[in-house]
Amino acid sequence: MPASQARVATDRASRYIKQLCSHFDKKADSEWDDHKGRTVFEFGTCDYAAETDALILRVEAADEELLGRTEYVVGDHLTRFGTRDELSVDWKREV
């Protein structure tokens, strides 16, 4: 199953996990706490992990097209939510 990861520099990772999961929970199954989270979309999944200086994202999907869609949805929402912090997401495909 194709997967990719991104490390987003921020000192507010827990806040972004809560914001993303809470938002996505309206249309997809999401669960979270202060240190980690997971969203299961119809087209893929995203796992979130908070580190002291970064938010770690890992997405996976059934194929490359759906992986791209999952990357786009998660990355787009995070960059919009993190505009003030100038967040950017750079996905790295897992081999």
Query: What's the rounded Cα separation, in Å, for the pair 67 and 89?
Result: 15
pLDDT digits (tens, 9 = 90+) for 47-71: 999 999 999 999 999 999 999 999 9
The answer, yes or no, to whether residue 95 has pLDDT greater than 90, is no
User: Which element (helix H / strand E) includes 92?
Assistant: strand 92-93
pLDDT at site 54: 98
For 3-84, the fitting CATH number among 3.30.479.30, 3.40.50.300, 3.30.310.50, 3.40.640.10 is 3.30.310.50
Give the pLDDT band (50/70/90) at residue 20: very high
Task: Tell me the three state secondary structure of residue 73.
Answer: helix
CB atoms within 10 A of CB 27: 10
Domain residue limits, the chain: 3-84
Provide mean pLDDT across the span 2-29: 97
Tokens 């929402």 belong to residue: 77
| Mean pLDDT value across the chain | 97
pLDDT at site 7: 98
